[in-house]
Protein backbone atom coordinates (compact mmCIF):
# COMPACT_ATOMS: atom_id res chain seq x y z
CA UNK A 1 0.00 0.00 0.00
CA UNK A 2 2.87 2.34 0.84
CA UNK A 3 4.49 1.75 -2.57
CA UNK A 4 1.20 2.54 -4.28
CA UNK A 5 0.76 5.76 -2.29
CA UNK A 6 4.31 6.91 -3.02
CA UNK A 7 3.87 6.17 -6.72
CA UNK A 8 0.62 8.14 -6.89
CA UNK A 9 2.13 11.09 -5.00
CA UNK A 10 5.11 11.25 -7.35
CA UNK A 11 2.96 10.89 -10.43
CA UNK A 12 0.55 13.65 -9.41
CA UNK A 13 3.36 16.05 -8.53
CA UNK A 14 5.02 15.39 -11.91
CA UNK A 15 1.74 16.18 -13.67
CA UNK A 16 1.41 19.36 -11.58
CA UNK A 17 4.89 20.36 -12.79
CA UNK A 18 3.77 20.06 -16.40
CA UNK A 19 4.99 16.62 -17.43
CA UNK A 20 2.61 14.91 -19.86
CA UNK A 21 3.51 11.31 -19.06
CA UNK A 22 5.04 9.57 -16.05
CA UNK A 23 5.94 5.88 -15.81
CA UNK A 24 7.71 3.60 -13.34
CA UNK A 25 10.09 0.67 -13.88
CA UNK A 26 12.09 -1.64 -11.69
CA UNK A 27 15.82 -0.97 -12.04
CA UNK A 28 17.43 -4.00 -13.66
CA UNK A 29 19.69 -5.13 -16.48
CA UNK A 30 18.24 -4.36 -19.93
CA UNK A 31 18.66 -7.83 -21.37
CA UNK A 32 16.92 -7.15 -24.70
CA UNK A 33 18.87 -3.96 -25.32
CA UNK A 34 22.35 -5.42 -24.77
CA UNK A 35 22.74 -7.22 -28.13
CA UNK A 36 21.03 -4.36 -29.98
CA UNK A 37 23.38 -1.75 -28.57
CA UNK A 38 26.39 -3.94 -29.25
CA UNK A 39 25.35 -4.50 -32.87
CA UNK A 40 24.57 -0.79 -33.38
CA UNK A 41 28.05 0.16 -32.18
CA UNK A 42 29.72 -2.55 -34.27
CA UNK A 43 27.96 -1.14 -37.35
CA UNK A 44 29.51 2.26 -36.50
CA UNK A 45 26.02 3.72 -36.48
CA UNK A 46 27.19 6.24 -33.89
CA UNK A 47 29.45 7.91 -36.49
CA UNK A 48 31.85 10.25 -34.74
CA UNK A 49 29.76 10.30 -31.58
CA UNK A 50 32.47 8.34 -29.79
CA UNK A 51 30.89 9.04 -26.39
CA UNK A 52 28.25 6.43 -27.27
CA UNK A 53 30.94 3.76 -26.92
CA UNK A 54 31.66 4.80 -23.33
CA UNK A 55 30.05 3.27 -20.22
CA UNK A 56 28.56 0.31 -22.09
CA UNK A 57 27.70 -1.58 -18.88
CA UNK A 58 26.16 1.47 -17.20
CA UNK A 59 23.93 2.13 -20.20
CA UNK A 60 22.44 -1.32 -19.76
CA UNK A 61 22.17 -1.34 -15.97
CA UNK A 62 21.34 1.91 -14.12
CA UNK A 63 22.31 0.30 -10.82
CA UNK A 64 25.91 0.62 -12.00
CA UNK A 65 25.31 4.28 -12.80
CA UNK A 66 23.71 5.22 -9.47
CA UNK A 67 24.37 2.87 -6.56
CA UNK A 68 21.36 1.41 -4.72
CA UNK A 69 18.91 2.38 -7.48
CA UNK A 70 15.69 0.41 -7.20
CA UNK A 71 13.29 2.42 -9.36
CA UNK A 72 13.42 4.33 -12.65
CA UNK A 73 10.88 7.10 -13.18
CA UNK A 74 10.45 8.04 -16.85
CA UNK A 75 8.97 11.47 -17.54
CA UNK A 76 7.94 13.06 -20.83
CA UNK A 77 7.42 16.76 -21.56
CA UNK A 78 5.50 18.03 -24.59
CA UNK A 79 7.19 20.47 -26.98
CA UNK A 80 4.97 20.23 -30.06
CA UNK A 81 3.99 23.37 -31.94
CA UNK A 82 2.38 23.87 -35.32
CA UNK A 83 4.39 27.05 -35.91
CA UNK A 84 6.48 27.05 -39.10
CA UNK A 85 8.80 29.55 -40.81
CA UNK A 86 6.68 32.26 -42.46
CA UNK A 87 8.80 32.07 -45.62
CA UNK A 88 8.53 28.65 -47.27
CA UNK A 89 12.00 28.89 -48.80
CA UNK A 90 13.68 29.71 -45.47
CA UNK A 91 15.90 27.03 -43.87
CA UNK A 92 14.37 25.06 -41.01
CA UNK A 93 15.28 24.06 -37.47
CA UNK A 94 13.74 21.28 -35.37
CA UNK A 95 10.74 22.26 -33.28
CA UNK A 96 12.56 21.27 -30.09
CA UNK A 97 15.03 24.13 -30.62
CA UNK A 98 12.51 26.92 -31.30
CA UNK A 99 12.60 28.30 -27.79
CA UNK A 100 15.06 28.27 -24.92
CA UNK A 101 17.12 25.16 -24.20
CA UNK A 102 14.83 22.50 -22.73
CA UNK A 103 17.62 21.02 -20.57
CA UNK A 104 17.47 23.95 -18.14
CA UNK A 105 13.68 23.97 -17.80
CA UNK A 106 13.32 20.22 -17.32
CA UNK A 107 16.29 20.00 -14.95
CA UNK A 108 14.66 22.65 -12.73
CA UNK A 109 11.39 20.70 -12.73
CA UNK A 110 13.21 17.47 -11.87
CA UNK A 111 14.96 19.25 -9.02
CA UNK A 112 11.60 20.44 -7.69
CA UNK A 113 10.13 16.94 -8.01
CA UNK A 114 13.12 15.41 -6.21
CA UNK A 115 12.82 17.93 -3.36
CA UNK A 116 9.11 17.17 -3.08
CA UNK A 117 9.83 13.42 -2.87
CA UNK A 118 12.34 13.95 -0.07
CA UNK A 119 10.00 16.27 1.84
CA UNK A 120 6.95 14.05 1.41
CA UNK A 121 8.33 10.53 1.59
CA UNK A 122 11.42 11.11 3.69
CA UNK A 123 14.93 9.70 3.36
CA UNK A 124 15.12 9.06 -0.39
CA UNK A 125 18.31 9.18 -2.42
CA UNK A 126 18.83 9.25 -6.15
CA UNK A 127 19.68 11.34 -9.18
CA UNK A 128 17.85 12.79 -12.16
CA UNK A 129 18.90 13.30 -15.75
CA UNK A 130 17.88 14.91 -19.01
CA UNK A 131 20.38 13.87 -21.72
CA UNK A 132 23.16 14.11 -19.15
CA UNK A 133 24.03 10.48 -18.37
CA UNK A 134 24.65 7.19 -20.17
CA UNK A 135 21.12 5.88 -19.79
CA UNK A 136 18.88 4.36 -22.48
CA UNK A 137 15.95 6.69 -21.92
CA UNK A 138 13.76 5.29 -24.71
CA UNK A 139 14.17 1.74 -23.42
CA UNK A 140 13.05 2.81 -19.95
CA UNK A 141 10.15 4.87 -21.29
CA UNK A 142 8.99 1.79 -23.19
CA UNK A 143 9.47 -0.47 -20.17
CA UNK A 144 7.45 1.90 -17.99
CA UNK A 145 4.53 1.72 -20.43
CA UNK A 146 4.63 5.27 -21.77
CA UNK A 147 4.87 4.26 -25.41
CA UNK A 148 6.54 2.01 -27.94
CA UNK A 149 9.73 2.49 -29.94
CA UNK A 150 8.69 3.36 -33.49
CA UNK A 151 10.39 2.41 -36.73
CA UNK A 152 12.18 5.77 -36.60
CA UNK A 153 13.57 4.77 -33.16
CA UNK A 154 11.54 7.46 -31.37
CA UNK A 155 9.19 6.75 -28.47
CA UNK A 156 5.61 7.13 -29.72
CA UNK A 157 2.62 7.59 -27.42
CA UNK A 158 -0.95 6.81 -28.44
CA UNK A 159 -2.30 10.03 -26.94
CA UNK A 160 0.23 12.62 -28.14
CA UNK A 161 2.58 11.10 -30.70
CA UNK A 162 6.32 11.65 -30.31
CA UNK A 163 7.14 15.36 -29.96
CA UNK A 164 8.14 14.81 -26.33
CA UNK A 165 11.33 15.22 -24.33
CA UNK A 166 12.34 12.31 -22.09
CA UNK A 167 13.89 12.57 -18.64
CA UNK A 168 14.62 10.07 -15.86
CA UNK A 169 14.84 9.96 -12.10
CA UNK A 170 16.64 7.09 -10.36
CA UNK A 171 15.60 6.44 -6.76
CA UNK A 172 16.61 3.99 -4.02
CA UNK A 173 13.02 3.17 -3.00
CA UNK A 174 10.62 0.60 -4.43
CA UNK A 175 7.53 1.83 -6.26
CA UNK A 176 4.63 0.34 -8.21
CA UNK A 177 5.92 -0.72 -11.63
CA UNK A 178 4.28 -1.07 -14.99
CA UNK A 179 3.92 -4.75 -15.86
CA UNK A 180 2.52 -4.52 -19.39
CA UNK A 181 4.52 -2.51 -21.94
CA UNK A 182 2.43 -0.97 -24.71
CA UNK A 183 2.42 -3.06 -27.87
CA UNK A 184 3.91 -1.79 -31.12
CA UNK A 185 1.28 0.14 -33.07
CA UNK A 186 3.42 0.97 -36.12
CA UNK A 187 1.91 -1.96 -37.98
CA UNK A 188 2.86 -2.08 -41.66
CA UNK A 189 3.45 1.68 -41.88
CA UNK A 190 6.83 2.69 -43.32
CA UNK A 191 6.24 6.42 -43.84
CA UNK A 192 9.23 7.45 -41.72
CA UNK A 193 11.54 5.06 -43.59
CA UNK A 194 10.25 6.17 -46.99
CA UNK A 195 10.48 9.89 -46.16
CA UNK A 196 14.04 9.98 -44.78
CA UNK A 197 16.05 11.70 -47.55
CA UNK A 198 19.43 10.40 -46.37
CA UNK A 199 18.36 6.78 -45.76
CA UNK A 200 19.23 7.03 -42.07
CA UNK A 201 16.59 4.48 -41.02
CA UNK A 202 18.58 1.54 -42.33
CA UNK A 203 15.94 -0.98 -41.24
CA UNK A 204 12.79 -0.76 -39.14
CA UNK A 205 13.61 0.44 -35.61
CA UNK A 206 17.29 1.10 -36.38
CA UNK A 207 18.67 4.54 -37.21
CA UNK A 208 22.21 4.89 -38.47
CA UNK A 209 23.11 8.04 -36.59
CA UNK A 210 25.97 8.76 -38.99
CA UNK A 211 23.44 9.25 -41.84
CA UNK A 212 20.93 11.40 -39.97
CA UNK A 213 20.45 15.08 -40.86
CA UNK A 214 20.46 15.91 -37.12
CA UNK A 215 23.89 14.26 -36.83
CA UNK A 216 25.32 16.21 -39.75
CA UNK A 217 23.92 19.57 -38.62
CA UNK A 218 24.57 19.26 -34.87
CA UNK A 219 26.95 16.47 -33.85
CA UNK A 220 29.41 16.43 -36.75
CA UNK A 221 32.15 19.00 -36.31
CA UNK A 222 33.94 18.22 -39.59
CA UNK A 223 32.85 19.23 -43.08
CA UNK A 224 29.54 17.69 -44.18
CA UNK A 225 30.19 14.99 -46.82
CA UNK A 226 29.56 16.20 -50.36
CA UNK A 227 27.50 13.09 -51.18
CA UNK A 228 24.81 14.51 -48.89
CA UNK A 229 24.45 17.58 -51.10
CA UNK A 230 20.83 18.27 -51.98
CA UNK A 231 19.43 15.75 -49.47
CA UNK A 232 18.75 17.95 -46.45
CA UNK A 233 15.44 19.46 -47.61
CA UNK A 234 16.44 22.85 -46.15
CA UNK A 235 17.10 21.61 -42.58
CA UNK A 236 19.89 23.70 -41.06
CA UNK A 237 19.62 22.47 -37.45
CA UNK A 238 18.18 19.08 -36.63
CA UNK A 239 15.39 17.42 -38.59
CA UNK A 240 11.72 16.59 -37.94
CA UNK A 241 10.93 14.71 -41.16
CA UNK A 242 10.39 11.25 -39.65
CA UNK A 243 8.15 12.75 -36.96
CA UNK A 244 6.24 15.03 -39.30
CA UNK A 245 5.16 12.11 -41.50
CA UNK A 246 4.27 9.79 -38.58
CA UNK A 247 0.46 9.24 -38.50
CA UNK A 248 0.51 9.15 -34.70
CA UNK A 249 1.59 12.78 -34.59
CA UNK A 250 -1.85 13.84 -35.76
CA UNK A 251 -2.62 13.53 -32.04
CA UNK A 252 0.12 15.96 -31.02
CA UNK A 253 -1.10 18.79 -28.82
CA UNK A 254 0.12 22.38 -28.87
CA UNK A 255 2.39 22.89 -25.87
CA UNK A 256 1.58 25.65 -23.39
CA UNK A 257 5.14 26.21 -22.17
CA UNK A 258 6.30 29.86 -22.46
CA UNK A 259 9.94 28.67 -22.27
CA UNK A 260 9.51 27.01 -25.67
CA UNK A 261 8.14 30.06 -27.45
CA UNK A 262 10.48 31.15 -30.28
CA UNK A 263 12.22 34.50 -30.42
CA UNK A 264 9.83 36.92 -32.18
CA UNK A 265 12.12 37.17 -35.21
CA UNK A 266 13.05 33.50 -35.57
CA UNK A 267 10.28 32.37 -37.91
CA UNK A 268 10.10 35.68 -39.79
CA UNK A 269 13.58 35.55 -41.29
CA UNK A 270 13.84 34.94 -45.01
CA UNK A 271 16.32 32.76 -46.83
CA UNK A 272 18.32 35.91 -47.62
CA UNK A 273 18.34 36.90 -43.95
CA UNK A 274 19.81 33.53 -43.02
CA UNK A 275 22.41 33.71 -45.78
CA UNK A 276 23.52 37.08 -44.44
CA UNK A 277 23.30 36.06 -40.77
CA UNK A 278 25.89 37.80 -38.61
CA UNK A 279 27.04 36.87 -35.14
CA UNK A 280 25.18 39.59 -33.16
CA UNK A 281 21.81 38.48 -34.59
CA UNK A 282 22.71 34.83 -33.97
CA UNK A 283 23.50 35.68 -30.32
CA UNK A 284 20.25 37.60 -29.96
CA UNK A 285 17.90 35.00 -31.48
CA UNK A 286 19.56 31.97 -29.92
CA UNK A 287 20.63 33.51 -26.61
CA UNK A 288 19.45 30.58 -24.46
CA UNK A 289 18.68 28.16 -27.26
CA UNK A 290 19.89 24.62 -27.90
CA UNK A 291 21.04 25.93 -31.30
CA UNK A 292 24.02 27.49 -29.52
CA UNK A 293 25.38 23.95 -29.32
CA UNK A 294 26.42 24.13 -32.96
CA UNK A 295 27.73 27.70 -32.47
CA UNK A 296 27.60 30.50 -35.00
CA UNK A 297 30.31 28.93 -37.13
CA UNK A 298 28.49 25.60 -37.21
CA UNK A 299 25.17 27.12 -38.24
CA UNK A 300 26.88 29.17 -40.95
CA UNK A 301 28.55 25.97 -42.18
CA UNK A 302 25.15 24.29 -42.40
CA UNK A 303 23.56 27.21 -44.24
CA UNK A 304 26.45 27.37 -46.67
CA UNK A 305 26.10 23.63 -47.33
CA UNK A 306 22.41 24.08 -48.12
CA UNK A 307 22.79 27.09 -50.39
CA UNK A 308 26.34 27.14 -51.68
CA UNK A 309 25.16 28.13 -55.15
CA UNK A 310 23.28 31.13 -53.73
CA UNK A 311 26.25 32.65 -51.92
- pLDDT (tens digit per residue) in 276-298: 999 999 999 999 999 999 999 99
pLDDT value at position 308?
Answer: 85
pLDDT of 183 higher than 90: yes
pTM of the predicted protein model = 0.95
Q: What is the mean pLDDT of residues 252-258?
A: 98
Residue 181 has pLDDT above 90, yes or no: no
Task: Give pLDDT, residue 263.
Answer: 96
Mean pLDDT of 85-92: 95
Q: Per-residue pLDDT for 25 more than 90?
A: yes
Q: How confident is the model at residue 55 (pLDDT cuts 50, 70, 90)?
A: confident
Neighbour count for residue 301 (Cβ, 10 Å): 19
User: Cα dist. 216→142, 169, 222 in Å?
Assistant: 27, 30, 9
Structural domain tally of the chain?
A: 1
Please report, rounded to a whole number, the percentage of residues in the chain having pLDDT higher than 70. Answer: 99
**SS3 of 165, please?**
strand
Confidence category of residue 311, pLDDT binned at 50, 70, 90: low
What pLDDT sits at residue 200? 97
240 catalytic? Reply is no
* Range(s) of the domain holding residue 255: 1-311
Mean pLDDT across the chain: 95
Do residues 245 and 152 touch, judged by C-beta distance below 8 A?
no
37 closest CA partner among 160, 151, 138: 138
pLDDT of residue 198: 98
**Residues of 6-32 as b/e, b for ≥16 C-beta within 10 angstroms?**
bbeebbebbeebbbbbbbbbbbeebee
Helix, strand, coil tally for the chain in percent (to 5): 40, 15, 45
User: Among 16, 108, 131, 234, which one carries the catalytic annotation?
Assistant: 131
Amino acid sequence: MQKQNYTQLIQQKAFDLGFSFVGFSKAEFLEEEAPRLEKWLKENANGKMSYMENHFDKRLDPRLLVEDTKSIISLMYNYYTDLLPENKDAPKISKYAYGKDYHFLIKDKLKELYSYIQETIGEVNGRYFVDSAPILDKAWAKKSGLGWVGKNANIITKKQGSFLFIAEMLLDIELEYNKTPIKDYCGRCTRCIDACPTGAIIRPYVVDGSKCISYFTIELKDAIPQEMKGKFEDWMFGCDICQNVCPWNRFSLQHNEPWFEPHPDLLKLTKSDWLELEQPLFQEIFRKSAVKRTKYSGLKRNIKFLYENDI
